[in-house]
Chain A
Amino acid sequence: MHIDVRGQLVRDPWFLAGMGLALALGLLTLLGPMLTPHDPHDMSFQPLTPPSAVHWLGVNDGGMDIFSELLYGMQNTVGFGLFTGLIALSFGMAVGLAAAWFGGWLDQILMRLADILIAIPAVMILILTAALFRPSPMILALILAVMSWPTTAKAIRSQALIVKNRIHIQAARQMGASGSYVVVRHLMPELFPLYLIGFAAKARMAMFMEASLAFLGLSDPSRKSLGLMIGFALKYYYLDVWWNWIMPPVLLLTLLIMAVTFLAISLEKVFDPRLKEAW
């Protein structure tokens, strides 16, 4: 992978579009609470007020400021996605590298476990636990991460198996480098692009899941989320609220998923030598 990937990435319009969107949305997420004077849980406003200078997007049926709901909901959705992506990636890295490096029965056991987990639909486990126990979003994110590491682990394992037999790693071993030294200094850095690809894919899936579960009414109703807002707003579709209440969370969620998708597609395209030719 010693090619000018950075240059290629910067020249890729999808990467630029995704990065631009991600930066803008990231800024909005970080600065969110500073941009609005209202507490999203404050229910003291006149319900269903149309937008005004005080309430930029109006007030919802429960007397809460829609604009501040939007900013806080965005924080929750993004946070859930990044957290799940990070944990899933860590599991995937650990398992993939261990399976490739040690091989043998450990490899067999880990990969068979991965096959079983891939077969189980993660969303169903999430729905079941969410409906039965109403756990915190953190627990749901952990469950989702535990369910979704196998594809990343498999990708990392197969690439690690190739890199493991390259000459420089053989050389390092011949010179007496310990296993952990070779893994940390030689193997892990070479697989770096796979981490980015895996992270982007998992974060995208997690944001989508969070929005869907909240939309279906499975998350804590007092926890702001874009999906939850869409679900509530749709109940009032017959009022003239589509442009100030329904569309803003829909648009924000779409832009969010779009940003991550563009980044994922562009990373895969630039880093996967087989795919690159196809574009």
Chain B
Amino acid sequence: MKIFLRKHERVLAYMLAALIMIYLSYGLPGFLPGDFVTAMYSSSHVTLTADQEAEIRAFYTQREGFIHYLVNLFTLNWGYSYAFLTPTSSLILEALPWTLLLFGSAHLISMIFGFIAGVELAWRRGSFWEKIGVGSMTIMEGVPEIGSGVVLLLVFALYLGWFPSSGAETAYARQSAGEWAWDVLRHLALPLSTLILAYFPGNFLLARGSMVMVLKEQFVQTARAKGLPPLRVRYVHAARNVLLPMVTRFGLRLAFMLTGALVVETIYSYPGLGTLLFNAIGKRDLPLIQNIVLFSSLMVLLINLALDYVYGWVDPRVRHAY
């Protein structure tokens, strides 16, 4: 059975997916009904000046060519946000670092610790701690980000007051670099914990499950029989086989996990892409919504493409398969 496509086939699939996303972003507004500008904005809290209204109408009725749209896309010429009165590209690029910090560190921490915990508990299979770990992590796997996020917010930010409830840094505070870093960390604590609570259990359960299977293999018995130290058997011989399913799972669930990240950012008003999207939706800022969606989709595709190279690095069998 062919599990992995040839590399150029996968790259082609991603390119097509990217093209579809760009084309949808370009073409979908064309299907908007008649005078949607009036329909959309008359019922919202946003009041537009006559100029702005004409501009939006022009923006959505112009039929620039697809090539032209592509050129604009790659030159960061993404149009203006009507709610924030700024180019959407600068809004998105401003929000991006915070999202990368939050999302990236959450994944890094959950993957590394999920991997280690899974490997260690699989090694101690049947012990008291293994049963507790598997049981509690299975329960945690069922808790959505929206649930854990709200509970952490209520308990640690509002009731106990240990951490700030919103933002990514204290506004207008004059701080030294050290104080600033500490401030950022304090703001990061709750959203990061929420995401780790969401991502760690899955990583742990998968690492443990795969490791239990690997430990049954003969090469592990051989390694043990040779009298290698247990730590070496565990990590150098057995555990590297656990990495591939973990990377695969990450790629498959990336888009799904993004949804949770949007929600978590919104709960804590963390100034990343999720909160920007939430604000754009609230203000019906269509150009901004459209661009955030397109930008995030292309990012997801890019990460997936990068993962393909990670596969080859993690598992030489993939690299030499074709």
Contact = CB atoms under 8 A, between A and B. Distances in A.
Contacts of A23: none
A163 to B, nearest CB: 13
Given A121-B255, A215-B263, A262-B138, A227 B286 contact: no
B154 A277 contact: no
Nearest to B148: A254
Among A14, A119, A227, which residue has the most Cβ atoms of chain B within 10 A? Answer: A119
B297 A120 contact: yes
Nearest to B290: A128
A234 B297 contact: no
Given A121-B300, A218-B281, A253-B144, A158 B1 contact: yes
A124 B17 contact: no
Contacts of B16: 116
Interface stretch (B20-28, B71-79, B231-239): B20-28
Contact of A124 (B1, B31, B255): B255
B10 A205 contact: no
A258 B142 contact: yes
B17 A120 contact: yes
A6 interface: no
A205 to B, nearest CB: 6
Contacts of B256: 123, 205, 208
12 contacts: A115-B13, A118-B252, A119-B13, A120-B21, A121-B258, A124-B294, A218-B281, A246-B154, A247-B154, A253-B146, A278-B208, A279-B209
B259 interface: yes
B266 A258 contact: no
Classify the secondary structure of A's interface with B: helix
Interface string A208-251: 11011001111000000001001000100110001000110011
A161 interface: yes
A212 B20 contact: no
A151 interface: yes
Nearest to B285: A131
B289 interface: yes
Contacts of A211: 144, 146
Interface string B206-223: 001110110010000000
Contacts of B17: 116-117, 119-120
Contact of A116 (B13, B142, B151): B13
A175 interface: no
B111 interface: no
Contact of B150 (A112, A117, A121, A246): A246
B187 to A, nearest CB: 17
A216 B263 contact: yes
B259 A123 contact: yes
Interface of A: 14, 112, 115-125, 127-129, 131-133, 151, 158, 161, 205, 208-209, 211-212, 215-218, 227, 230, 234, 237-238, 242, 246-247, 250-251, 253-254, 257-262, 265, 274-275, 277-279
Given A119-B14, A261-B141, A278-B209, A250 B281 contact: no
A112 B260 CA distance: 28
Q: Classify chain B's interface size.
A: 35 or more
Contacts of B304: 119
B40 to A, nearest CB: 9
Contacts of A121: 254-255, 258, 296-297, 300
Contacts of B10: 115
Contacts of A278: 208-210, 212-213
Nearest to A261: B142
B211 to A, nearest CB: 8
Contacts of B284: 131
B293 interface: yes
Given A124-B21, A211-B144, A212-B259, A250 B5 contact: no
Given A119-B17, A227-B146, A277-B213, A215 B266 contact: yes
Among B9, B147, B290, which residue has the most Cβ atoms of chain A within 10 A? Answer: B147
Interface in B227-271: 252, 254-256, 258-260, 262-263, 266-267
A132 B14 contact: no
A71 B20 CA distance: 39
A124 B252 CA distance: 15
Contacts of B254: 121
Given A132-B290, A216-B281, 6 more contacts: A131-B286, A133-B32, A151-B252, A209-B259, A237-B154, A251-B147
B100 interface: no
Contacts of A133: 31-32
Closest 9 CB pairs of A and B: A258-B142, A121-B255, A261-B142, A254-B147, A119-B17, A278-B209, A115-B13, A278-B212, A124-B297
B67 interface: no
Contact of B267 (A234, A251, A259): A234
Contacts of A258: 139, 142-143
A257 B142 contact: yes
A277 B216 contact: yes
A230 B210 CA distance: 37
B277 A127 contact: yes
Contacts of B5: 115
Interface string B20-55: 110011001101100000000000000000000000
B282 interface: yes
A275 B206 CA distance: 10
B1 A161 contact: yes
